[in-house]
Amino acid sequence: MYWKKCPASTFIRRRRRSISSSTRASAWSWWDHVRPASKDPIVGVTEAFLADPNPKRINLGVGAYRDDEGKPVVLQCVRDAEAKIAGSEFLESISAAISSKLVEESLKLVYGKDSNVITDGRFAGIQALSGTGACRLFAEFQKRFYPESQIYLPDPTWSNHHNIWRDAHVPRRTFRYYNPSTKGLNFAALMDDVKNAPDSSFFLLHPCAHNPTGVDPTKEQWREISHQFKVKNHFPFFDMAYQGFASGDFDIDAKAIRIFLEDGHLIGCAQSFAKNMGLYGHRVGCLSVLCSDHKQAVGVKSQLQQIARAMYGSPPVHGLLLVSTILSDSDIKSLWLREMKAMANRIKSNRSALRDSLENLGSPLNWEHITNQVGMFCFSGLTPDQVNQLARKFHIYMTQDGRISMAGVTSGNVSYLANAINQVTNYSQENLNLCNTSF
């Protein structure tokens, strides 16, 4: 519990006692019962990193792409788009048109440009505040129209998923996903949980580059999951935050969604342009909910817009203009696809470099998962204690669950990182006298 609910009346009585004149001597506050919120586990990592003056520090926390010097990157396609829109006087009146175009282009990425979902207009799509905003809109929508429903989240999942559905007052359950002993997918358990959930349950799925584990189902496994979802009539909600980052190819990375579409599921999907376009701070994403027909889609869209209007009004235009420009200008779009591939490739080579370094150091542990896992993150298997040691002794920062953002690895720091990991794991090894297991 982050807070204690106290009736306001308690504070009225206290306040009365303390007021004798218009200037109060003591600093009594309405907010005395407000405790400090605990730090967000992911954002808190960056805060700790920034507070560390050591030059060797490495931030492997937030999933934000870095270049080989560890610097943030603004893609050239984005710079081109910035130049193109510069000075254009944005008229509120064209907002709706641009927004619709953006939504359509975004959905083509996910559903396929020839998808009949798009040509038939069977989608309710709105621009959202990146992936978080898209998930939150859906959670609120789910609560409003299925007030008794729950959400099944994979175990583990991005920590903010729990916050989102909780704040939307939708009870959360988890389904088994990650197998710590194989550092891979616990497919049998996943299918069991899907089967045992009550019919028509809402499930959140990561279509590719699972966060935090980097473990994705194979194509065949996705087919089985889709089939079972049909049997159980479950609602699949996809959080697509890393399209392009898993394989470098947008269509390949969307295969899970395409399989579900082929099977006739009417899915929901949150998309983010934070990572794959490097537009983190602009908060651009999209929420789509597939419907039986266009008319229903119009109704659903209007409800989503209403939820958005009471939360923040409308989404910020600058990011919208950038994404819209990139997706609709064929030269800029091609450049983007190439730059995306380059980012994905750099991360793959980081994975190989880290694994090789650890193996070359003679670490007795199995590090295959570093290259088996996919996308921006590696679920290292490091324990919280080891994670803390890395921070304290080596100024290397990651989340407590041992998730490493591979984008933070560079050719300059990979040896240092491997050495540090090797040391903290060897030390534990000696102490526990274990070889391959509970690690």
Residues 6+ apart with CB under 8 A from 16: none
Q: Which of residues 155-174 bind other proteins (CB under 8 A)?
A: 160, 163-164, 166-167
Question: Is there binding between residue 393 and other proteins (CB under 8 A)?
Answer: no
Cα 268 to the chain's mean position, in Å? 15
- The Cα 205–Cα 256 span in angstroms is 10
Question: Is there binding between residue 196 and other proteins (CB under 8 A)?
Answer: no
Question: Is there binding between residue 79 and other proteins (CB under 8 A)?
Answer: yes
Q: Which of 158, 165, 222, 336 is catalytic?
A: 158
The residues with which 318 forms a beta bridge, in sequence order, are: none
Q: Which of residues 359-388 bind other proteins (CB under 8 A)?
A: none
Stretch that binds other proteins, among 143-151, 250-258, 325-333, 389-397 (CB under 8 A): 143-151
Among 17, 20, 31, 433, binds other proteins (CB under 8 A): 31
Question: Is there binding between residue 118 and other proteins (CB under 8 A)?
Answer: no
Q: Which of 80, 193, 216, 239 is catalytic?
A: 239
- What is the chain's Cα-based Rg? 24
Cβ–Cβ < 8 Å for 304, 137: yes
62's tokens: 């937030």
Stretch that binds other proteins, among 196-204, 240-248, 328-336, 352-360 (CB under 8 A): 196-204
Among 1, 12, 55, 119, binds other proteins (CB under 8 A): 12
DSSP 235-298: EEEEEES-TTTTTS-HHHHTHHHHHHHHTT---EEEEE-TTTS--GGG--EEEEEE-SSHHHHH
Nearer to other proteins, 127 or 425 (CB): 127
239 has catalytic annotation:
yes
- The Cα 407–Cα 277 span in angstroms is 14
- The strand ranges marked E within 337-421 are 377-379, 396-397, 403-405
Q: Which of residues 316-345 bind other proteins (CB under 8 A)?
A: 316-319
DSSP 174-192: EEE-EETTTTEE-HHHHHH
Question: Is there binding between residue 97 and other proteins (CB under 8 A)?
Answer: no
Nearer to other proteins, 206 or 369 (CB): 206
- The Cα 366–Cα 181 span in angstroms is 11
Among 147, 331, 362, 430, binds other proteins (CB under 8 A): 147
By rule CB under 8 A, what string of x and - marks binding of each residue 222-251 to other proteins?
Answer: --------xx-x-x----------------
Strand 184-185 with 178-179, pairing: antiparallel
Among 20, 91, 119, 430, binds other proteins (CB under 8 A): 91
What are φ and ψ of residue 237, in 5° steps? -110, 120
188's tokens: 């049998």
Q: Which of 275, 336, 367, 401 is catalytic?
A: 275
Question: Is there binding between residue 427 and other proteins (CB under 8 A)?
Answer: no
Cβ–Cβ < 8 Å for 157, 41: no
Q: How far is the CB of 250 from other proteins (least distance, A)?
A: 21
Cβ–Cβ < 8 Å for 401, 177: no
Nearer to other proteins, 182 or 196 (CB): 196
- Largest Cα–Cα separation, the chain: 74
Q: How far is the CB of 421 from other proteins (least distance, A)?
A: 26
Which residue's structure tokens are 């309710």? 124
Among 20, 23, 119, 330, binds other proteins (CB under 8 A): 23
Nearer to other proteins, 140 or 193 (CB): 140
Nearer to other proteins, 312 or 427 (CB): 312
Q: How far is the CB of 175 from other proteins (least distance, A)?
A: 19
Nearer to other proteins, 56 or 294 (CB): 294
Among 97, 113, 146, 180, binds other proteins (CB under 8 A): 146
275 has catalytic annotation:
yes
The residues with which 237 forms a beta bridge, in sequence order, are: 204, 268
Stretch that binds other proteins, among 263-271, 332-340, 401-409, 421-429 (CB under 8 A): 263-271
Q: Which residues are catalytic?
A: 158, 239, 275
